[in-house]
Amino acid sequence: MQKPPVNSLNLDLLVALRDTLVKLEKEKCKGMILTSESPSVFSAGLDIMEMYRPDHNRARKFWTTLQDTWIKLYSSPYPTVAAINGHSPAGGCLLALSCEYRVMVGPKFTIGLNETQLGIVAPFWFQDCMRNAIGERQAELALTLGKMFSVDEALKVGLIDEIAKDKADAISKAEDFLDEQSGLPALARSTVKVAFREATLNRLLKNREADTKMFLDFISMPKVQQALEMYMQTLKKK
Ligand SMILES: CC/C=C\CC/C=C/CC(=O)SCCNC(=O)CCNC(=O)[C@H](O)C(C)(C)COP(=O)(O)OP(=O)(O)OC[C@H]1O[C@@H](n2cnc3c(N)ncnc32)[C@H](O)[C@@H]1OP(=O)(O)O
């Protein structure tokens, strides 16, 4: 990802990610490493400006493109690794959680689903991804608090798989993971992957329209707009 300054996921970046994932699958990609050009941010999550006083049609397109991107990434037949070389809040954490393996550069960055702290709600499929990685109990604690984990905490709870000392080390560890997968029969590997992920995927696939409506209704609430405005102001003041 290379959308300065913080790889916030706006419609354009989501379209680019989705189209890349579609292309990789068509071209029978052997493995993918998702990382960031930024030296300090993997992705700042969804672009708040896409949710603040949005045009209804654009907001719908934004959300359905996010769903498409997630479905493609989460169900990809090829192996995927997130080399998390910077902060990774909310939607950034979702991208990392959707890969099969996570290597994060330590020690100073943070990762987590912090939506509650912003006065918004992590959708059920964000929650499911966290639950699948760290288990029901820890996911409930983390999601209700909107907790951002330090790299050490993330490793301890199972949110990431390995710590790297810098980006080059993260890429090298990610390549080790891909090398390990490369000798396996691809169809058997991808069938097992999809079997593990099927219930989570189907939950969204069967409820896409309801999920979109929930998002559009939620961001239409004056209280939510107020919370987003205050949050944007805090970020700008910083
Ligand atoms: C029912 C369902 C309903 C709703 C579901 C909604 C789900 C939402 C999921 C999300 O992903 S919400 C987004 C959550 N993201 C965050 O909380 C991250 C906010 N950003 C940060 O914490 C920090 O920016 C950072 C730690 C990522 C990086 O810090 P730093 O390197 O110090 O950069 P700055 O804070 O100075 O930011 C630079 C620049 O970028 C703007 N910005 C940052 N994050 C976002 C964002 N998510 N969207 C839009 N813009 C963002 C920030 O305001 C600065 O702008 P300037 O104009 O001041 O340069």
The reply to whether 38 falls in a domain is yes
For 200-227, the pLDDT digits (tens) are 999 999 999 999 999 999 999 999 999 9
Pairing of strands 110-112, 149-150: antiparallel
Which residue type does 2 have?
Q
- 180 pLDDT more than 80: yes
Percentage of the residues of the chain whose pLDDT score is greater than 90: 97
For 153-162, the pLDDT digits (tens) are 999 999 999 9
Q: How many domains does the chain have?
A: 1
Buried b or exposed e, range 124-143, using 16+ CB within 10 angstroms: ebbbbbbbbbbeeebbeebb
- 72 pLDDT more than 80: yes
Write down the catalytic residue from 46, 66, 97, 228. 46
CA 207 to centroid of ligand 1, rounded, Å: 28
The reply to whether 1 falls in a domain is no
Q: How far is CA 235 from CA 30, 170, 193, in A?
A: 39, 28, 38
- Per-residue pLDDT, averaged over 172-197, amounts to 97
Question: Could you tell me if the CB of 151 is within 6 A of ligand 1?
Answer: no
* CATH code, 162: 3.90.226.10
Write down the catalytic residue from 45, 85, 97, 115. 115
Question: Could you tell me if the CB of 204 is within 6 A of ligand 1?
Answer: no
Query: What's residue 238's pLDDT?
Result: 73
- Separation of alpha carbons 77 and 92, rounded Å: 21
Question: Could you tell me if the CB of 4 is within 6 A of ligand 1?
Answer: no
**Cβ atoms of residues 84 and 170 within 8 Å:** yes
The reply to whether 5 falls in a domain is no
- Per-residue pLDDT, averaged over 137-158, amounts to 98
The reply to whether 2 falls in a domain is no
Query: What's residue 119's pLDDT?
Result: 86
The reply to whether 215 falls in a domain is yes
* Mean per-residue pLDDT over the chain, rounded: 97
Residue 130 CA neighbour count, 13 Å, CB half? 31
Nearest to 65 by CA among 93, 46, 89: 46
- Per-residue pLDDT, averaged over 15-34, amounts to 97
- Separation of alpha carbons 45 and 115, rounded Å: 10
Percentage of the residues of the chain whose pLDDT score is greater than 70: 100
- 14 pLDDT more than 90: yes
CA 8 to centroid of ligand 1, rounded, Å: 7
Query: What's residue 237's pLDDT?
Result: 83
CA 214 to centroid of ligand 1, rounded, Å: 22
- Per-residue pLDDT, averaged over 127-154, amounts to 98
The reply to whether 46 falls in a domain is yes
- For 145, the token pair is 């608090």
Buried b or exposed e, range 49-85, using 16+ CB within 10 angstroms: ebbeebeeeebeebbbbbbbbbbbbbbbebbbbbbbb
- 29 pLDDT more than 90: yes
- Per-residue pLDDT, averaged over 153-181, amounts to 98
The reply to whether 42 falls in a domain is yes
Whether 187 is a known active-site residue: answer: no
- 82 pLDDT more than 90: yes
Residue with tokens 């004056």: 222
How many residues are present in the chain? 238
Range of the domain at 73: 11-168+176-237
- Per-residue pLDDT, averaged over 74-94, amounts to 98
The reply to whether 189 falls in a domain is yes
Whether 114 is a known active-site residue: answer: yes
CB neighbourhood size of 42 (10 A):
28
Whether 178 is a known active-site residue: answer: no
